[in-house]
Amino acid sequence: MIRHTMRVRFTISALFLLCSAASVAAGDSRPETFVIQASRDGREATIKIPVGAVSAFSANRAEALNYGDTGVEAMRLRGNVRIDVIGTPQPIRIRADHVVLELTADETPHWLGLFRPSRKLRSTEIIVDANDTQTFVGNVSFTVPTSAGSMQITADRVEHSAGAAARTP
């Protein structure tokens, strides 16, 4: 009887420690950050995301755009834009001052994940900064797979930080 009681106490203690460690690790997880900076020539950055991959977004102002396409819900977001993306191995946070957000329908899951798209990047120039931050300049295009489909960022300048806080645009 005493062995059984000690085994139960040990099991409960081990579960408590595992839960505590998991919550500390989850709380310490920093999102991958994309900071989209304004284009000098006035072109707008575009972010295309499946609806199921967006956990939250906010901006000071939003203007609905009519593309005439029933598969895309588009809006122009201005002022302190923040978009949180889920469905990736690490949460993603996008920040900007002015972007066009295109919300698309979720893609059907690929059969057994065999044809899951990979992450793609195109840029004219890459500047490596301190603290694991890179700045991509000129015809920047990121494609990031999520569980709901691919997210695409098209801009002239993007600052990317893998898990560390990036500067405000």
Name every residue whose Cβ is closer than 8 Å to that of residue 157 and which is 6 or more positions away in sequence: 36, 37, 38, 39, 135, 136, 137, 138, 140
| C-alpha closest to that of 92 among 22, 27, 158, 146 | 146
Name every residue whose Cβ is closer than 8 Å to that of residue 161 and which is 6 or more positions away in sequence: 32, 33, 35, 131, 132, 133, 134
Are residues 89 and 137 both part of a single domain?
yes
The mean per-residue pLDDT over the stretch 73-81 comes to 94
Which residue(s) pair with 147 in the sheet?
A: none
Domain tally, the chain: 2
* pTM greater than 0.95 (yes/no): no
Are residues 103 and 133 both part of a single domain?
yes
Are residues 118 and 91 both part of a single domain?
yes
Structure tokens at 47: 């972010």
Are residues 15 and 46 both part of a single domain?
no
In a domain, 169, yes or no: no
Work out the percent of the chain whose per-residue pLDDT is above 70: 73
Structural domain boundaries, residue 17: 1-29
Write down the residue that tokens 């062995």 correspond to.
3
pLDDT digits (tens, 9 = 90+) for 45-66: 999 999 999 999 999 999 999 8
